Chains A and B, each alone.
Chain A
Amino acid sequence: MTRTILAALALAIGCDAEETPPPREPLNLAIAIDTSGSMLGPSIEHVRRGLATMAASLGPDDRVTLVTFSDAAHVHVEAVAGDSAELRAAIDAVQATGQTNVYAGLRAAFEATERHADPQRRNRVVLLSDGQATTGLVHDPRLLTMARAYGAVGLPLHTIGVGLEFDPQLLRGLAERGGGTFHPVEDPAAVVHAFAIEALARAEAPPGG
């Protein structure tokens, strides 16, 4: 099941996950993780494992920002090296509780990415959510406007919807407006690999965009 989903994801972004990837440009990557109460249990554990799997593929030239959002947004680390102990510690500290404030989390991720935008890097934001916006600024079209605005300045947004309860219309719309891709992942266990695929995807955006 997981391999099937991975293969579909790899096809969707135009690469083959089984191949050894060629050298890539360094990343300026922000990851916004839904840590609302619905992620409690195995889901948040899969997310931590997924982030750790992704981090293992990153190097000292990559810059990573990790944002979680529940009732509010929390920037755990900002633009730290991809192979840093800070990033690993931040991943270990991710916990689930509260509601789903997508706007705050996504805006924090976009702003951090823009602060560290570098034309020599792949600047991108990855959003993962298993639900719908329930607190904060919950007007979906405003979220779409934000994705379009940051996408227009070269900060594409890739979205991952986990499970069966996420809002596919919103996550698909965010990716479309943001110039990225949308990946539904029905099996939460597949999240372990989805981050790495999304973070390292090189199919669509040139460096700096």
Chain B
Amino acid sequence: MPRIDVARLARPAAQVLGAAIALLCCIAKADGEAPSIVRGHVDDGVCAPPDDGLRLAWSVPLPTGSFVLDAIDIGRDGCLALSLHGVAQPWFLCVSEDALPFAVGDAIAIESVYAAGLEGVRLFDESRQLVVTRGASTPAIDDVQWSIEPMPACEVAVEPTCGTVGRAMRLRVQSEAFGDGVLRGGGDPLRLRSSDGRTLRIESAAVHERVAFDPECAFGPDAAGMDIELAVTTEVR
């Protein structure tokens, strides 16, 4: 009996659904005007959906505990290979080199991060930390308040590969010590500095709201809603 690939059947259905939802969004937005297909700005870097090939990622199983960093190698794909003393194999972490506040010889701790709607990893010592998370929400960082808002001029659009319907959002960061700033998924990192010499650096691979998607095809959280990936670095410099 021939096998039926449910995932392949579901993908066109999701694309049709996506187009339909985009059309409905368009009609609602037009508010009485003649409807036209909303194409958004999928080719525009500012409004583009997350690049799955550049999402934040780390290898499993996660080596949790305290380690000395024996070596840091950067692959051509941008992923870091951290050689941890006493661990036979390197641990891979796909964030930019600038996000890592540690150097060879540093003693660091590594732990998992789990919270409502997100998972992640935390690397830290007494004065520095890197928190990398992915999911539907933002991580808890001391003295940092997050708010999510639509990217101006970015409309609901259908991503062509998987038919994901969504729109680009941006994160507003507010902090008493560091001040305020805004960043978008896939954009330049946000750097803020406190008056006492600490730095806050935030990079994001995704800040996107998904209205409809095919879980068999699209990457990101398992449910519709926010798709957020962040690497947050705090350190004293």
Contact = CB atoms under 8 A, between A and B. Distances in A.
A111 interface: yes
A153 interface: yes
A142 B75 contact: no
Contact of A137 (B54, B76, B79, B219): B79
B173 interface: no
A149 B54 CA distance: 12
Interface string B76-87: 111101000000
A143 to B, nearest CB: 9
B53 A144 contact: yes
A72 B60 CA distance: 11
Interface string B44-56: 0000000011110
Given A137-B94, A145-B54, A107 B219 contact: no
- Which of A103, A110, A142 has the most CB atoms of chain B within a 10 A radius of its CB? A142
Contacts of A148: 53
Given A110-B76, A111-B75, A149-B76, A139 B55 contact: yes
A136 B60 CA distance: 5
B88 interface: yes
A30 interface: no
A139 B89 contact: no
Given A137-B94, A141-B52, A150 B76 contact: yes
Interface in B30-85: 52-55, 57-61, 73, 75-79, 81
Interface residues of A, number: 24
Contacts of A110: 75-76
Given A104-B89, A146-B75, A149-B76, A137 B57 contact: yes
Nearest to A149: B76
B89 A142 contact: no
Given A137-B57, A141-B52, A146 B219 contact: no
Contact of A72 (B53, B79, B89): B89
Contacts of A138: 60
